[in-house]
Structure 1
């Protein structure tokens, strides 16, 4: 039994990279932690995204039960989505259960913690609405280190290709965070302390390919800094405290892009129309807001219609040249904003990615749920879903590889608790990255991109933790393991299990007292 527990998140971290860094001596503290404690690969949610994955960490159940299955949650109109937040969580969280047991949690940068559910110190994450992320706000007076807390780095540096400066700014953000984190750690009472290094996700999106092949060693400055901070946490753990280090998902280098909505259009499931581009895209984070502001600052705006795209795509070399010009010169350097005024005509669409780049789960536009769709019978719905699933599972790219190893139904992912308006189909990540935009006439493009992968990492360290390597575990198992580590009873309907990490084992206790509570 631990007296206290500290959880350190490394967003998007994977042992594919971390093992290399430990072998090179860049992360000796993490190596020490992994050698003396329990380590395992950690399977994320489907899809492996921050909002559903960290909420599964906090609740011990799959996204169908907790209700936060993507950054954006549908309304009764597939053209309009709500940004996910803590009010959408349908089951008790780890920190709420600990609060009921008389234990105090400090949460710093936990995704989907806005608005805060408790009065204990909480610094919310990139999904925060508004300018204040420190709760209660009086903490800013008590700790001046929190007065200028930054939720995100300067994205203009990345957009303009200033990668060295971008790395320095990411490190500066974390340095600012850690001053406040250490103040809270040392001066506030706590039983559970959570802090997330979002920077591992930021830098991986920008250059995971370079991190893996070592072609940009400057990027390792961030990981050296994070490892130094892990060492600080390890050296300042109170007696009988266990340290959990984990990620919500992994990362992967993709060499192929698949334009999924274009494929649906070719197959007759989706129809487009001319409309302002903003209707098809929706920002989900502070980084997205920054990038939008950068584009909106540009003095000139050029709208590209669907007809113009057809003309460009008629000659493939010209289309490729236009794409190169946009990404290499126009977007980072020219004072011109390009808008592709093409969006989905939902009244004529049956299957789609509704929000292009910000959603990658498949929705069937059933009029019984969505007002712009055509009502379907159960038989029609199942026939359409099976048809799309079969076609997609059998689809191969130009290299002969299947675009996805497997397509799942919502029942296969969520079991018996299925939200009314959740995605209808999910695909497993393979060698192709799926996108929903319409700025390519080709279904497949060979390009390198650094995106999420399905397998993250876990390392647990403390005086009652075994030194061992476990087989792959599920992110849903962290919450019940922490509850058991605190000698608390577990709600009976969790999807996760208590991990076999303890030198001295005790029977796991369950209770059905909270099963029906919705906080």
Structure 2
């Protein structure tokens, strides 16, 4: 049996299996059709379950430690202030389209995270939400930028501006505008060229979850009953389903289709103030405590009395002030493991605001990664198993907050995304698979194309039809 020659990947950043597989399945005819004809299941993300580095982990079959990427912004070195954004230059290993291009396959990419700044590919590339604006060079080849200017009227949106704000009508309008533009580009490219590998990632689902989850979910602590935005998320899922149907109309019966998300979503209960806790426990010392909440970067830290500090985000990152590593380190190297054990035990026994155990999970990088490159966090923290976000600012004089310090946000990430694969040769009959890893995606797709899987890939080739 010969292998199909082409693959179409439709990435839906943050798409939640609970919404697609359960609550809304009957309203998503294109997605449901792929599920019924193929195989599907929850896909376990990397740790941390966040866009950067999750898509890179998926497409390279490397873990965050091997990539040296632990989030959007990472320590550039062991100084206290130097941070760098993990863009395309941060990735030093080949991703799936690189391998296919080297094998002579024509590739097309639209909006795939960590493709800015652009580099050459064997085909066409439109970069991602890390692109500052459409005045930057966001295409390869350069001429594709002029094509897009003809296909799309007005500014080409690389991301939704100000999606953490209270102007929900404007956010919703921009989410649709961005998706319409990006899918227009996808359709134009697929109409004029035949690709062996085509991949697009829609960021709108992530943005709409963060901006509108409380209107949809009656279990959300800030639920707004009878809101005009009650169906905003469901309506957008249906819109995306229609866009998927339009792409499926442009491919032939020799094309494998994968609809996939990098992680899921869930209601955000609130935020846990990591640095406030570190101050309270005596691990972090400030020269002067602020009168109003502010970023830790704006505070003067007394490094001579500080053993640990943390960073905010959907998950927490905790760093130790290690002697001989940090400029003013005071934690002796032989005390690092004992201190980490002590902090881990305290964090994992944290109560929530009601006094019940929060269920926090804490990870040592060397325990979950095959390699630890770069200036990695000493601990990664899932507060309440991602029901709570990590708040890095200080000045609240409280451990729990229900106002996000980076702007309104209704949702946190969840560890499992979606995986829906339809191979026209094999079908699948709607078989459910419950143990797909984000690392298995690239090797499995290479195998389906009858190409060798590099031994450096850590995922497994999955036979999903037995």
Taking structure 1 as the reference length, the TM-score comes to 0.79
* Structure 1 segment 338-377 matched on structure 2, within 5 A: 342-343=298-299, 345=301, 347-348=303-304, 349-354=306-311, 356-357=312-313, 360-374=316-330, 376-377=331-332
Q: Which residue, out of 174, 179, 201, partners 1:196? A: 201
Partner residue of 1:292? Answer: none
Shift in alpha-carbon separation, 1:340–1:493, aligned structure 2, 3 A = closer
Partner residue of 1:466? Answer: 428
Partner residue of 1:60? Answer: 61
Partner residue of 1:410? Answer: 365
Deviation at 1:21, TM superposition (A): 4.7
Deviation at 1:38, TM superposition (A): 0.8
Partner residue of 1:485? Answer: 448
Shift in alpha-carbon separation, 1:259–1:71, aligned structure 2, 3 A = same
- Hey, what's the Cα distance between the residues in 1 that align with 2:361 and 2:313? 21
Name the SS for the 1:126 alignment partner: coil
Q: Which residue, out of 437, 459, 466, partners 2:393? A: 437
Contact 1:167-1:219 at 8 Å conserved across structures: no
The reply on whether 1:391 has 2:394 as its aligned counterpart is: no
- Hey, what's the Cα distance between the residues in 1 that align with 2:303 and 2:338? 20
Name the SS for the 2:380 alignment partner: strand
- Hey, what's the Cα distance between the residues in 1 that align with 2:287 and 2:386? 31
Q: Which residue, out of 388, 413, 436, partners 1:452? A: 413
Partner residue of 1:510? Answer: none
Deviation at 1:226, TM superposition (A): 0.4
Deviation at 1:16, TM superposition (A): 1.3
Partner residue of 2:221? Answer: none
Shift in alpha-carbon separation, 1:183–1:72, aligned structure 2, 3 A = same
The reply on whether 1:75 has 2:36 as its aligned counterpart is: no
Deviation at 1:474, TM superposition (A): 1.0
Contact 1:50-1:111 at 8 Å conserved across structures: yes
Shift in alpha-carbon separation, 1:250–1:218, aligned structure 2, 3 A = closer
Contact 1:116-1:122 at 8 Å conserved across structures: yes
Name the SS for the 2:363 alignment partner: strand
Partner residue of 1:178? Answer: 183
Deviation at 1:483, TM superposition (A): 0.8
- The runs of 5 or more residues in structure 1 that have no matched partner are 275-305, 311-337, 504-519
- Hey, what's the Cα distance between the residues in 1 that align with 2:32 and 2:392? 39
Shift in alpha-carbon separation, 1:380–1:44, aligned structure 2, 3 A = same
Contact 2:73-2:84 at 8 Å conserved across structures: yes
Contact 2:350-2:358 at 8 Å conserved across structures: yes
- Hey, what's the Cα distance between the residues in 2 that align with 1:170 and 1:422? 33
Name the SS for the 1:155 alignment partner: coil
Name the SS for the 1:193 alignment partner: strand
Partner residue of 1:155? Answer: 162
Alpha-carbon displacement from aligned partner over 1:316-348 (angstroms, at most 9, x marks no partner): xxxxxxxxxxxxxxxxxxxxxx99995361624
Partner residue of 1:277? Answer: none
Deviation at 1:146, TM superposition (A): 5.5
Shift in alpha-carbon separation, 1:227–1:414, aligned structure 2, 3 A = same
Q: Which residue, out of 255, 272, 291, partners 1:258? A: 272
Deviation at 1:4, TM superposition (A): 0.3
Q: Which residue, out of 126, 131, 134, partners 1:128? A: 131
Deviation at 1:406, TM superposition (A): 2.5
Contact 1:346-1:373 at 8 Å conserved across structures: no
Higher helix share: 1
Partner residue of 2:146? Answer: 141
The reply on whether 1:206 has 2:211 as its aligned counterpart is: yes
Name the SS for the 2:303 alignment partner: helix
Partner residue of 2:5? Answer: 3
Q: After superposing the two structures, state which structure 1 stretch, 239-248 or 490-499, moved more.
A: 490-499
* Structure 1 segment 196-235 matched on structure 2, within 5 A: 196-213=201-218, 216-235=230-249
Deviation at 1:403, TM superposition (A): 3.2
- Hey, what's the Cα distance between the residues in 2 that align with 1:114 and 1:345? 34
Contact 2:212-2:232 at 8 Å conserved across structures: no
Q: After superposing the two structures, state which structure 1 stretch, 147-156 or 384-393, moved more.
A: 147-156
Name the SS for the 2:113 alignment partner: coil
- The runs of 5 or more residues in structure 2 that have no matched partner are 219-224, 404-408
- Hey, what's the Cα distance between the residues in 2 that align with 1:402 and 1:2? 51
The reply on whether 1:308 has 2:308 as its aligned counterpart is: no
- Hey, what's the Cα distance between the residues in 2 that align with 1:165 and 1:129? 19
Deviation at 1:208, TM superposition (A): 1.8
- Hey, what's the Cα distance between the residues in 2 that align with 1:254 and 1:240? 42
Deviation at 1:126, TM superposition (A): 1.5
Q: Which residue, out of 151, 169, 172, partners 1:167? A: 172
Deviation at 1:489, TM superposition (A): 0.8
Partner residue of 2:457? Answer: 494
Partner residue of 1:512? Answer: none
Name the SS for the 2:459 alignment partner: coil
Deviation at 1:80, TM superposition (A): 1.6
Deviation at 1:360, TM superposition (A): 2.6
The reply on whether 1:267 has 2:273 as its aligned counterpart is: no
Deviation at 1:197, TM superposition (A): 0.9
Q: Please provide the CA RMSD for this pair.
A: 2.5
Pairs aligned (count): 439
- Hey, what's the Cα distance between the residues in 2 that align with 1:20 and 1:421? 40
